[in-house]
Amino acid sequence: SQTIHQWPATLVQPVGSPLSLECTVEGTSNPNLYWYRQAAGRGLQLLFYSVGIGQISSEVPQNLSASRPQDRQFILSSKKLLLSDSGFYLCAWSVVPGTGELFFGEGSRLTVL
């Protein structure tokens, strides 16, 4: 069966520090991968998606970047965090073709102080 792992689960970082959140998927090949952010009291905003190794599409201009060094690994990074980067980050995967269902990780809560 397929599983998705996301870490760290909780992170507190000072403004200006770097960030690396990692997500790995098991039990499937060539998935589409996604990073979403959920700000406090708001919906989910799609940040990045990837349809293959090294292929990253950015949905919104921001202080973050994403990389996909391996088929089932998706990394969210920042060189210098801003206060506005605080939020709950969710990694997800899906298979194409299919019903478009996204399978989410448990999330990483980032607090920037």
Partner 1 sequence: GEDVEQSLFLSVREGDSSVINCTYTDSSSTYLYWYKQEPGAGLQLLTYIFSNMDMKQDQRLTVLLNKKDKHLSLRIADTQTGDSAIYFCAETTGGYNKLIFGAGTRLAVHP
Tokens of 9: 């689960």
Are 15 and 112 spatial neighbours (Cβ–Cβ below 8 Å)?
yes
- When asked if residue 100 is in the footprint of partner 1 (CB under 8 A), the reply is yes
Minimum separation from the CB atom of position 32 to partner 1 (A):
5
The contact mask relative to partner 1 for 54-73 (x = CB under 8 A, - = no) is: ---x-x--------------
**Which residues, in sequence order, are CB contacts of 28 under 8 Å at separation 6+?**
2, 72, 93, 95
101 binds partner 1 (CB under 8 A): yes
User: If binding is defined by CB under 8 A, does position 7 make contact with partner 1?
Assistant: no
Rule CB under 8 A: choose which of 15, 53, 60, 102 binds partner 1.
102
Q: Does residue 99 interact with partner 1 by CB under 8 A?
A: yes
Residue from 32, 62, 65, 73 in contact with partner 1 (CB under 8 A): 32
* Chain positions contacting partner 1, by CB under 8 A: 6, 32, 34, 36, 41-44, 46, 49, 51, 57, 59, 90, 92, 94, 96, 98-107, 109
